[in-house]
Amino acid sequence: MSPSHIPLPGSGFIARRAFLRHSAAAFLLAPLLRCEGIAAGEKEFAAADFISVQKGDLPIIISAPHGGTMTIPGVPERKGEGMKKGGAGFFAGRDENTELLAAALAEAIEKRLGKKPFFVIAKMHRKFVDANRPPEIAVEHPRAHEVYDAYRGTLAKFCDDVQTRYGRGLVIDVHGQGSARDTVFRGTHNGATDAMLAKLFGEKIHAGPQSLAGLLAVHGINMKPTDTSPETSGFTGGHIVQISGKHEGIGAVQLEFGIDFRTKDAIKSSAEKVAGGIADFAKLYLLGKPEPAK
């Protein structure tokens, strides 16, 4: 289940940088903060224990916020009282096997390109933390906030690292949907979250045969849409791609996988096909010196 449009925390470059600085700072301070405010009987934990992280050497970042299964000690399940439910609001359901698909995708990309992508994959269940929502929806307990900050702070740092080292990059946010089992929906807010990469190379990176969606289709993925048609309501991309796609030179795309791609028997094949499309995209726009937009 994935969000539709979620307003950004503030607007403009200054608000974005403030949000990222807050997330990154909170991530770095989490080990110091976790010992404070622990009530009697609660277990101490490290926020980093609830995310899986790989620092890469490619301008590709994989995120998977909704596949985790772990309980956070001392943290009650989110209730969402008084919040809008579903869509861009409160939801606590798990995107089954997306954590496995994201890990397999990272491995398949490494085999294709000979280097590791970055990744941040949630281990905690969405019942406790929703890493694809703004914090006022994502968490309902101070200790859960530490885990949220670890996830989002790591992702923000990786985006900064890619931007600094390569000048351009791609964020893939992996999700699951139950509306069309044989389909992967593209979510970019209709070109808004990959616009920073389009500034460098033109609209061909967003739609058409040389876009990510178009290249995934070549590798046997039933993608919708691959052109400039409006993206499917409810699957247009959430908070992660909205924030990540504000980095200069970075395109952020949410991929919503139907269950046919996420069964344990299908994950390896799905990952190999998606990695093929991503590798082709990287060779066109992210690696070497690709031809800029004219």
DSSP state letters, 226-260: SSSSPPPTT-S--HHHHHHTTSTTEEEEEEEE-GG
3-54 confidence digits (pLDDT tens): 333 333 333 433 344 444 444 444 444 443 343 444 444 566 799 999 999 9
Tens of pLDDT, residue by residue over 149-199, are: 999 999 999 999 999 999 999 999 999 999 999 999 999 999 999 999 999
Residue 210 CB neighbours (<10 A): 17
pLDDT per residue as tens digits for the range 196-250: 999 999 999 999 999 999 999 999 999 999 999 999 999 999 999 999 999 999 9
Q: Does domain 12-34+48-285 have CATH number 3.40.630.40?
A: yes
Q: What per-residue confidence (pLDDT) applies to 195?
A: 98
Question: Count of alpha carbons within 13 Å of 107, Cβ hemisphere only?
Answer: 11
Q: Please, what is the average pLDDT of the chain?
A: 87
Domain ranges of the chain: 12-34+48-285
Question: Quick one: average pLDDT of 111-130?
Answer: 98
Give me the pLDDT at residue 103, please.
98
Helix locations, the chain, DSSP H: 12-33, 98-113, 135-138, 142-166, 195-201, 212-218, 239-244, 267-285
Task: Give the pLDDT confidence score for residue 49 in this predicted structure.
Answer: 94
Per DSSP bridges, beta strands 169-176 and 60-64 are parallel
Tens digits of residue pLDDT in 80-103: 988 888 777 888 899 999 999 999
CB-neighbour burial class of residue 130 (10 A; exposed 0-12, middle 13-18, buried 19+): buried
Residue 61 in this model has a pLDDT that exceeds 70? yes
SS3 state of residue 176: strand
Q: What percent of the chain has pLDDT over 90?
A: 77
Q: What is the mean pLDDT of residues 48-71?
A: 97
What distance in Å separates the CA atoms of residue 42 and residue 48, rounded to the nearest whole number?
Answer: 18
Angle, alpha carbons 78-153-17 (nearest 5°): 110
Burial state string for 270-279 with b = 16 or more CB within 10 A and e = fewer than 16:
bbbbbbbbbb
What is the predicted pLDDT for the residue at 294? 57
pLDDT at 9: 36
Tokens of 205: 């990176």
